[in-house]
Amino acid sequence: MVITIEHQAPRKEVESLIRDIESKGLKVQEMVGETVNILGLIGDTTIVDETRIGMYPWVLSITHIATPYKKVSRQFHPEDTIIDVNGVKIGGNEPIVVMGGPCSVESEEQIMEIAEGVKEAGAKMLRGGAYKPRTSPYVFQGLKSEGIRYLCEAREKTHLPIVTEMMSVDKLDEFVENVDVIQVGARNMQNFDLLRALGKTNKPILLKRGLANTLEEWLMSAEYIMSEGNPNVILCERGIRTFERSTRNTLDLSVIPQIKKISHLPIVIDPSHATGHWELVESMSLAAIAAGCDGLIIEVHNHPEKALSDGQQSLTVEHFAKLIEKGKAIAKIIGRDM
Amino acid sequence: MVITIEHQAPRKEVESLIRDIESKGLKVQEMVGETVNILGLIGDTTIVDETRIGMYPWVLSITHIATPYKKVSRQFHPEDTIIDVNGVKIGGNEPIVVMGGPCSVESEEQIMEIAEGVKEAGAKMLRGGAYKPRTSPYVFQGLKSEGIRYLCEAREKTHLPIVTEMMSVDKLDEFVENVDVIQVGARNMQNFDLLRALGKTNKPILLKRGLANTLEEWLMSAEYIMSEGNPNVILCERGIRTFERSTRNTLDLSVIPQIKKISHLPIVIDPSHATGHWELVESMSLAAIAAGCDGLIIEVHNHPEKALSDGQQSLTVEHFAKLIEKGKAIAKIIGRDM
Amino acid sequence: MVITIEHQAPRKEVESLIRDIESKGLKVQEMVGETVNILGLIGDTTIVDETRIGMYPWVLSITHIATPYKKVSRQFHPEDTIIDVNGVKIGGNEPIVVMGGPCSVESEEQIMEIAEGVKEAGAKMLRGGAYKPRTSPYVFQGLKSEGIRYLCEAREKTHLPIVTEMMSVDKLDEFVENVDVIQVGARNMQNFDLLRALGKTNKPILLKRGLANTLEEWLMSAEYIMSEGNPNVILCERGIRTFERSTRNTLDLSVIPQIKKISHLPIVIDPSHATGHWELVESMSLAAIAAGCDGLIIEVHNHPEKALSDGQQSLTVEHFAKLIEKGKAIAKIIGRDM
Amino acid sequence: MVITIEHQAPRKEVESLIRDIESKGLKVQEMVGETVNILGLIGDTTIVDETRIGMYPWVLSITHIATPYKKVSRQFHPEDTIIDVNGVKIGGNEPIVVMGGPCSVESEEQIMEIAEGVKEAGAKMLRGGAYKPRTSPYVFQGLKSEGIRYLCEAREKTHLPIVTEMMSVDKLDEFVENVDVIQVGARNMQNFDLLRALGKTNKPILLKRGLANTLEEWLMSAEYIMSEGNPNVILCERGIRTFERSTRNTLDLSVIPQIKKISHLPIVIDPSHATGHWELVESMSLAAIAAGCDGLIIEVHNHPEKALSDGQQSLTVEHFAKLIEKGKAIAKIIGRDM
């Protein structure tokens, strides 16, 4: 951490700031310039509260050099994390994992039919929303526990592990007992109580990036989960909010090589929510594979035109199967299986 | 709601769509054009699930004409809502309410000293964070229940109602029992379970706008609270995330006249979080008053340079008192007291 | 400027970088840390090409401490710049200047009628577009030279200086000869050839902030004009592009106190383009005055419903006159005339 | 185009609006609802000035159904446009074209060495900036005419067509005479005079997307060029500005399938400017190929660490060659050559 302070700051106050920092076990070096002095902080700066230092009136700027996260950082954990979800491994050089399924679980028949379809097409996990975050209180909010039950039945039949979103801490037991990968949705990425509760389990967590959250904030939310003891975090990019409205969100594929560089966690791409149009899903999926993602989570529906939510962005099972075929070929070129 | 469909869509399918819509009690009128046909939906369209209709493959676009909210809308509730917080009224043509206090409650002495200071300066409510949402798990997270207790003591002494943030449903009882205005933070604006739980109380709720949420989404979150039966929602703009980084966020003051036009709910401005710099707080506060806000929520600290969080954006009690003086004069010009 | 480099960088290469920097007349101090070393650059860093240094492979980060601009900076020019436009002064503690007029000059009668209307209402300058930047090549592009001629006639009659946009360097003579304040539109804020050409004149320039340009980039564009010798730059905020679409753009009023702090140039607000709705113009104008702006540029039309462009955001002359009345009262409270 | 108007609008005024529209040769159909009436406009709506209609006080909303562009639209030109640049074809099912070269031309030796390097590696065109748009007036602005001359020499030696940016209309002759593809930079995407001037030539134009411009605005700028008679427009995505700052811009690869769907023009991706980090260039290039782009424009330098601008984002020739090898394999899978 580098702190710049005005050259004319009273000596007494600079020294009080330095002592304040040193009291936390850090070393401080000072460099005297013409208009500013520079303090270099040496040691573990993750415990320094930047806003507190920023309040000293003659502090001009504070620059992080070390990252504010530790457990998610590749620096302290050079090997890739590989997460085992009931035998399906994700991360590292493991085969790229495709998760497929409907936006919402709508009925037993629907999820059964789709589950078998995506399995045959090559999916390795089944996704499906039971508790649905919806902007309006007046539209379908998911089948809730009934949806979880149908997902479990689909798992029993297909042996695909299930991925589904948990919106509230009070459902923790239900999810820990029944679900294989617990999803944290974009709107809850900074619901810190939820993150902490999930950090106390040992379940794999699929942590979606928030609508307008930076890479650093996203990693800090993963740090929340890991700092409570749960190392099984899978990051999921699902598009960010920008000025552009011709797609639902703007898919930021550059996070794939960036995450790979700064973190050891697996990174999954959700092209369905990111674009909002099924016609863009195939090309964005292939792009994600070419860019090095560890997994894809894709909406698939048996009757997209009758879907109760997000039908616009769902593929048919047939289209999904073709996508996987092409994806496998691209994966091979960059040295991965799928 | 206006739906446009391709002219060459098979007649049978158009009719199936029309029947689908009519089955919800709406009337449908059709207009035949050269390249597109237009369906006009007449009736209560808030129950129509747009994503579902969007899935019909020959639907080109769906345009909302009626708003998707009802209870928050001025259309169905033409008079301003005035909320009574232990005798302090906010909204309508009531005096502009200033809420002042520290970002975080840090100690009994601190909150007592600030509470008395802001009261003397003219504040009508006391703000202070007890449960703090922080990006990093390694920094101060608030005094929690102890902080709530100190706030209650400060209220006892000053008779200022207290405003503080609730982050999780499992604290509902503690907040309903102790707090006068329950704040929903920007990060939780779309934590729908939290909104629903608060909707079942009759406490005034200060609903902050999310970092990257549109006006419509914000009003829909208010609708969540109101649809459960709680009419006491105060909207609070606290800056949105944009590409600009010289301020912490970009304060969007245009929401004041916009909210006034489309909704009957009171609107409060938080210039401290929005800008992140105490030097900008006064001018943005005066601007908000001139633009017609119903209240201000401002960070004030007795020793800003020692604040445990967000000191950079806090005013001293003296500066806060001067701001209120100027604010009163501006309020008078636009026909309001303060 | 602070450069951080990896601790294990080869000594030879660090020294080559230091010599490279010193060859530009700067002094370099080095601080050795545990994981990174820090170079502090002392002297005029505006000539340092950051991207060049960033290329050294073991450079981790580069932080500006000094601003990259000089002539626009208050640091090097502590007194406010006051610009004299044919006797109308703008900036410093001069009265707030209101510029009014139509988006586009449409006819001689139209501009004459509006010019007299806005003058009577209290405007001190006349605005009106003759050359219009339009997103579509198929819609009205302005009356061009004919429009300039009508503006000149309106000036003759009302003695109001005229403000109008120049889109291309090849019109420089026409503008220098006829126009009092040359406007650079948002889309041309980084048209550096245009800026340089205007920098060689001594005309007052109204430099609008680009749609998605930071405060720093905006000031750098002003620096382009000033570095060529023209000190007469007026900054104009007209809204930035964000995810929010209920307003045309998001008006960023926090730039007023920020510009005042870091620069000596006058700052003008355009609430008409910023919001895109005439109903929001009055409240945003009053807010801008309360926040300390030096001027306002407002669209006014005699028959807004027949305007050839941007009628939606134009006030009637009557509404404009009332706005000025209220504005004067608010100005007085913050110690300004208008 | 669909216009909604308030149900209680005076009949006389609705009819005046309808006549106004019909006078432009369009047909208008009216649908009467409970709270709003709907006007459907049938015919060529590109000539309708939306802002003009929006001014009628009882107009509630205007929705485009037809796109506002014609010449760029696939609807009116179903086959892909293939542009011939001195024998190198781009677009349609032609091989993917790689353009490589330095950000700036720095010297004769430099451009010669790089030109030969990129040719050998497989590039089909040579890029290099001679006139450079730089945020600061104090840093290197390009070799200008001298740079163009060196590019021509490099072309003579390697037979690679040259791509370089034109910033100002007054350089038109120099560019038409010497350059093979004239680049319009992101900052000039809405410099309409420049677009029009280029539209009067028959040179291939590489039109970069503006920093914060929507897909529709970008296509409208292409329409400016095409409406003047020049059909040779190549679109180039180079990242958009968002809240995220860990990359220079956010690369929006979803434009590839979107452009392919709505337009017949070729689409090229610039991963170097988009990301700003050479380490991300390879994966983003492969992703762009997988997503179906028609070309790539990539920064390559012989000594990236000594580059006078944008060295951080340049590849070495060796890395560039490897990228092309992998790219060819991916192209084959999606049925393209490279």
Closest CA to B275 of C195, A116, D318, C258: C258
| Residue in A20, A44, A51, A273 to test binding to B, most B beta-carbons within 10 Å | A51
The model's confidence at residue B306, banded by pLDDT at 50, 70 and 90, is: low
Bridge partners, D86 (sequence order): none
Tell me the shortest Cα–Cα distance from C194 to chain D, in angstroms.
8
**pLDDT tens readout for residues B87-132:** 999 999 999 999 999 999 999 999 999 999 999 999 999 999 999 9
| Token duo for residue B332 | 């008078």
Q: Which residues of C touch B253 (CB under 8 A)?
A: 251, 253, 284, 287
Q: Among D52, D194, D314, whose Cβ lies nearest the Cβ of C308?
A: D52
Predicted structure pTM score: 0.92
User: Which residue numbers in chain C have pLDDT < 50?
Assistant: none
What pLDDT shows up at residue C5? 86
The model's confidence at residue D69, banded by pLDDT at 50, 70 and 90, is: confident
Count, residues in chain D: 338
The CATH classification number of A2-63 equals 3.30.70.1140
Which sign does the torsion angle of CA A133, A309, D75, C136 carry? Answer: negative
Average pLDDT (A111-127) is: 97
Average pLDDT (A12-34) is: 84
- Give the type of residue at D4: T
Q: Among C54, C196, C305, whose Cβ lies nearest the Cβ of D56?
A: C305
Average pLDDT (A246-256) is: 96
Chain C neighbours (≥3 Cβ pairs under 8 A) are: A, B, D
Distance CA(A154)–CA(A328), nearest Å, equals 25
Per the CB < 8 A criterion, the answer to whether A95 and C97 are in contact is no
| Residue in D8, D31, D46 to test binding to B, most B beta-carbons within 10 Å | D31
Q: Is C46 on the interface with A (CB under 8 A)?
A: no
Taking the CA atoms of residue C263, residue C265, residue C267 and residue C273 in that order, the dihedral angle to the nearest 10 degrees is -100
Q: Is A66 on the interface with C (CB under 8 A)?
A: yes
Domain B83-333 matching CATH 3.20.20.70: the answer reads yes
What pLDDT shows up at residue B307? 61
Q: Among C54, C69, C228, whose Cβ lies nearest the Cβ of D311?
A: C54
Q: Is A52 on the interface with B (CB under 8 A)?
A: yes
Distance CA(A146)–CA(C118), nearest Å, equals 67
Q: Is B211 on the interface with C (CB under 8 A)?
A: no
What pLDDT shows up at residue D290? 98
Look at residue A82 and tell me whether its pLDDT is greater than 90: yes
A167·B314 Cβ contact <8 A = no
What pLDDT shows up at residue D16? 85
**pLDDT tens readout for residues D107-146:** 999 999 999 999 999 999 999 999 999 999 988 899 999 9
User: Which has the higher per-residue pLDDT, D44 or B85?
Assistant: B85
Tell me the shortest Cα–Cα distance from A65 to chain C, in angstroms.
8
Q: What residue of A is the nearest CA neighbor of C41?
A: A33
Tell me the shortest Cα–Cα distance from C297 to chain B, in angstroms.
17
For chains B and D, CB pairs below 8 A equal 49
Look at residue A71 and tell me whether its pLDDT is greater than 80: yes
Tell me the shortest Cα–Cα distance from B181 to chain A, in angstroms.
20
**pLDDT tens readout for residues B31-71:** 887 777 888 887 777 777 776 777 677 887 787 776 788 89
Q: Is C217 on the interface with B (CB under 8 A)?
A: no
What pLDDT shows up at residue B286? 98
Residue D229, Cβ neighbours under 10 Å: how many?
11
The model's confidence at residue A195, banded by pLDDT at 50, 70 and 90, is: very high
Average pLDDT (B310-320) is: 85
D49·C309 Cβ contact <8 A = yes
Tell me the shortest Cα–Cα distance from D254 to chain B, in angstroms.
19
3-state secondary structure A239-305: CECCCCCCCCCECCCCHHHHHHHHECCCEEECHHHHHCCHHHHHHHHHHHHHHCCCEEEEEECCCHH
C55·D137 Cβ contact <8 A = no
**pLDDT tens readout for residues D222-262:** 999 999 999 999 999 999 999 999 999 999 999 999 999 99
Tell me the shortest Cα–Cα distance from B95 to chain C, in angstroms.
18
What pLDDT shows up at residue C15? 87
Q: What residue of A is the nearest CA neighbor of C44?
A: A34
Average pLDDT (B170-182) is: 98
What pLDDT shows up at residue B310? 63
Look at residue B309 and tell me whether its pLDDT is greater than 70: no
Place of tokens 């090095």: A292
A31·C36 Cβ contact <8 A = no
Asked whether the domain spanning A83-333 has the same topology as the one spanning A2-63, the reply is no
- The DSSP line for B213-276 is --HHHHHHHHHHHHHTT---EEEEE--B--S--SSSSB--TTHHHHHHHHB-S-EEE-HHHHH-
A55·B167 Cβ contact <8 A = no
D42·B33 Cβ contact <8 A = yes
Q: Is A175 on the interface with B (CB under 8 A)?
A: no
Count, residues in chain A: 338
What pLDDT shows up at residue A307? 61
Per the CB < 8 A criterion, the answer to whether C21 and C50 are in contact is no
Sheet holding B59-63, edge to edge: B27-32, B36-42, B2-6, B59-63
Count, residues in chain C: 338
The model's confidence at residue D309, banded by pLDDT at 50, 70 and 90, is: low
The full set of domain ranges for chain B reads 2-63, 83-333
How far apart, in Å, do the first and last CA atoms of chain D sit? Answer: 41
Look at residue D298 and tell me whether its pLDDT is greater than 70: yes
What pLDDT shows up at residue B305? 64
User: Which has the higher per-residue pLDDT, B303 or A104?
Assistant: A104
What pLDDT shows up at residue B268? 98
Average pLDDT (B205-212) is: 97
Q: Mean pLDDT for chain D?
A: 92
3-state secondary structure D149-206: HHHHHHHHHHCCCEEEECCCHHHHHHHHHHCCEEEECHHHCCCHHHHHHHHCCCCCEE
| Residue in A7, A21, A42 to test binding to C, most C beta-carbons within 10 Å | A42
Q: Which residues of C touch A212 (CB under 8 A)?
A: 243
Out of A42-51, A251-260, D6-15, give the one with best mean pLDDT: A251-260
Chain B neighbours (≥3 Cβ pairs under 8 A) are: A, C, D
Chain D neighbours (≥3 Cβ pairs under 8 A) are: A, B, C
Residues 242-271 of B with CB under 8 A from A: none
A126's enclosing H/E stretch is strand A125-127
Q: Is C29 on the interface with A (CB under 8 A)?
A: yes
Q: Which residues of D touch B60 (CB under 8 A)?
A: 65
**pLDDT tens readout for residues D151-172:** 999 999 999 999 999 999 999 9
What pLDDT shows up at residue D304? 67
Q: Which residues of C touch B329 (CB under 8 A)?
A: 333
Tell me the shortest Cα–Cα distance from C226 to chain D, in angstroms.
10
| Token duo for residue B211 | 């970092």
Q: Is C214 on the interface with B (CB under 8 A)?
A: yes
What pLDDT shows up at residue C337? 97
